[in-house]
Amino acid sequence: MGIAARMNYAKLTAETFTDLGERLFVCGHILGPDRRDGVSPFGHGDDAVVAVSMLLRIASEIVSGCADLVGSGRHYAGAALVRQLVEVEYLAWAFEMNDEECRRWLRSTREERHSFFTPAKLRKAADGHFRSADYSFHCELGGHPVPGSWRLLNNAEAIGQLMLSDCLGHSTHIWNHFLGWAKTYVVNDKAFADAVFGNDANAKVAEMRQRNDEWKRLDILTALPPPPVEDVAKL
């Protein structure tokens, strides 16, 4: 029951992120002042909207990829993707906090991303919102080729499912950050809301909330606490 609930919610999440990401890209490319003002290097109407569209589509591929890999028994590969999703979550938080961060990220060079958007710097900027131990957990378990990776290589279905459940938890955080970012657009621009969410923005949000509640009710792994710092150090 828990496995089916995870796979079903992963499928819905990936499809929702892709659909909204594609709609956002169209809106961000066509609408907005950035092209008119000559500030978008890419000729977009609103670089912030395009940045969020990219983040959602990246998250979609990570969630669907993790579910596919874990479902086919490639648990280490699936777990490795969760660390990338954690980094997407950090960016989603930054985008929600400040719309200008979306534009700065999209227009950034490699050197600028190293200065402002590395996981460590985003965690520091979040001032305690994210635990460094959680990121280290994913680095040690599936993110890097380390001895502790054996847990995902030998009869690892249980821990693979744990990684998928954790993946869905991070995708839920990304969804909530997206809603926080989109709130101004949805409230103040009905045309934007209709173009991105369809005729009823509330229906899309309500569906995700309902399916999230269903997943949490059926997936007992969601009740587990985060790994203690001392356990991460032992991996």
Q: How many CB atoms lie within 10 A of CB 121?
A: 15
Residue 178 scores a pLDDT above 90: yes
Q: What percent of the chain has pLDDT over 70?
A: 92
> Quick check: 17 and 61 in contact, CB under 8 A?
no
Domain residues of the chain, as ranges? Answer: 2-234
Report pLDDT digits (tens) over 198-207. Answer: 666 678 889 9
> What predicted TM-score, i.e. pTM, was given to this entire model?
0.91
Closest CA to 174 of 67, 9, 56: 56
Give 124-146 pLDDT, tens digit per residue: 999 889 988 888 888 877 777 77
- Tens digits of residue pLDDT in 26-63: 989 998 899 999 999 999 999 999 999 999 999 999 99
